C-alpha cells in the first residue's frame, strides 16, 4: 500500500470516530429538573430515564462524504422508525439547548418501547453511509448506529439502544449480545439504496426504555445544524406522536411539563 493510500485510510478512521462521538455519547440520562445548557453549539444528544444521571460531552461532528442525486422534492418523512406504531409507548421530543420549557437538549426524537423485538423501517429514501455496532463511552453500553443520506442532502441517523442511561456490567454484557443480534438482523449495508417504508432490521430491547434515537442533520458540510424531524412529517397531525410525547413527559416530569414535538 502506498503512502497516499495510507493517508486516505487514516482520514477515514478519523471521520468515523468523530461521527460516532456526536451521535451516541448523549444517550444517557440527565436530571430532568435541571436541564443542561452549554455555551457551545455542537453538543451530543441526551436520552433520559428518571432514575439515574449522567452528563454528556460536547463533541464536533463530521460525516463521510457521499455522492447522491440532488432532488428539489420537499422532504417528507414517515412518523416513526417502527413499522407498527403501537409498538412504542412514549416519544422524547426534539429540544434545542435553550427552549421554552426548560427541558434538556435533545437533537432528535426517541421512540421508547417495552417490546423485546420491534421491526424497523426507513423513514425516507437515501443511500446508506454505515451500519455498525458502537460501544458508547464512558460506560461501555452497546448499540447499533446507522445513517443514510437523503437525495436532497440531509442525513438521517438511527441509534438502536436496548435501554437508556448508564448500565452495569451485567446489563452491558447482554447489550453486546443484543447489538450483535441487531447487526445480524440488518437488511442494509453501506452503499445500499434504501427506500421509504422498507424493512431495515430489528430493535431488541432489555426493558421499557429500549428505544430508537432518530435524528435529522441539515447536511454533511459546514457547521452542525440539527433539524426537528417532526417538522417534515406530513401526517404528524393525524398521528399519536403528540400524545405519546406527553406520556414521556408525564413519566419523567410528573405532569409538570407539556412539551411540543419541536421545542425551541
Q: Which residue did the predictor score with more confidence, 37 or 213? A: 213
- Rounded to whole angstroms, how far apart are CA atoms 42 and 20? 14
The 8-class DSSP code of residue 84 comes to S
Contacts of residue 71, Cβ cutoff 8 Å, sequence gap at least 6 = 150, 151, 152
Residue 23: name the closest of 53, 56, 50, 49 by CA: 56
CB 124 within 8 A of CB 62: no
- The pLDDT of residue 58 is 31
Strands 262-263, 94-95: pairing kind = parallel
Count of domains observed in the chain: 1
Ranges of H-type helices in the chain: 3-24, 169-185, 241-253
Q: Indicate whether 139 pLDDT > 90.
A: no
Q: What percent of the chain has pLDDT over 90?
A: 65
Count of Cβ atoms closer than 10 Å to residue 23 Cβ: 29
- Rounded to whole angstroms, how far apart are CA atoms 229 and 227? 6
- The pLDDT of residue 222 is 72
Query: Using one digit for the tens of pLDDT, what is the confidence trace for 108-132?
Result: 999 999 999 999 999 999 999 999 9
- The pLDDT of residue 9 is 47
- Rounded to whole angstroms, how far apart are CA atoms 47 and 143? 14
- The pLDDT of residue 72 is 62
Mean pLDDT of 34-57: 32
Give how far Cα 153 sits from Cα of 42, 65, 69, 162, Å.
20, 11, 9, 29
Q: Which domain holds residue 62?
A: 3-263
- The pLDDT of residue 41 is 27
Mean pLDDT of 132-152: 94
Residue 150: CATH number of its domain = 2.70.70.10
CB 51 within 8 A of CB 28: no
- The pLDDT of residue 6 is 39
Give the CA dihedral 113, 161, 23, 198, nearest 10 degrees. Answer: -70
- The pLDDT of residue 90 is 98
- The pLDDT of residue 7 is 47
Element (H, E) at 131: strand 126-136
Q: Which residue did the predictor score with more confidence, 234 or 71? A: 234
Model confidence at 71, pLDDT cuts 50, 70, 90, reads low
Q: Indicate whether 223 pLDDT > 60.
A: yes
Amino acid at each position: 500500500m502506498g503512502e497516499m493510500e495510507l493517508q486516505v485510510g487514516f482520514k477515514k478512521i478519523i471521520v468515523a470516530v468523530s461521527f460516532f462521538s456526536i451521535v451516541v455519547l448523549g444517550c444517557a440520562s440527565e436530571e430532568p429538573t435541571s436541564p443542561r445548557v452549554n455555551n457551545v453549539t455542537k453538543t451530543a444528544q441526551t436520552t433520559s430515564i428518571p432514575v439515574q444521571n449522567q452528563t454528556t460531552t460536547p463533541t464536533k461532528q463530521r460525516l463521510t462524504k457521499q455522492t447522491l442525486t440532488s432532488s428539489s422534492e420537499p422532504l417528507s418523512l414517515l412518523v416513526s422508525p417502527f413499522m407498527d406504531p403501537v409498538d412504542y409507548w412514549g416519544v422524547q421530543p426534539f429540544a434545542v439547548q435553550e427552549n421554552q420549557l426548560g427541558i434538556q437538549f435533545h437533537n432528535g426524537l426517541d421512540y421508547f418501547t417495552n417490546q423485546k423485538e420491534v421491526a424497523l423501517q426507513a423513514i425516507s429514501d437515501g443511500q446508506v453511509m454505515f451500519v455498525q455496532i458502537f460501544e458508547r463511552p464512558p460506560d461501555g453500553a452497546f448499540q447499533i448506529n446507522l445513517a443514510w443520506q437523503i437525495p436532497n442532502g440531509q442525513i438521517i441517523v438511527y441509534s438502536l439502544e436496548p435501554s437508556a442511561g448508564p448500565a452495569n456490567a451485567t446489563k452491558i454484557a447482554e447489550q453486546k449480545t443484543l447489538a450483535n443480534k441487531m447487526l445480524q438482523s440488518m437488511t442494509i449495508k453501506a452503499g445500499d439504496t434504501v427506500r421509504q417504508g422498507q424493512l431495515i432490521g430489528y430493535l431488541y430491547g432489555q426493558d421499557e426504555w429500549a428505544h430508537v434515537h432518530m435524528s435529522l442533520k441539515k447536511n454533511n458540510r459546514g457547521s452542525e445544524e440539527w433539524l426537528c424531524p417532526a417538522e417534515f412529517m406530513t401526517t404528524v397531525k393525524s398521528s399519536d406522536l403528540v400524545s405519546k410525547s406527553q406520556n414521556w413527559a408525564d413519566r419523567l416530569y410528573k405532569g409538570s411539563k407539556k412539551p411540543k414535538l419541536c421545542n425551541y
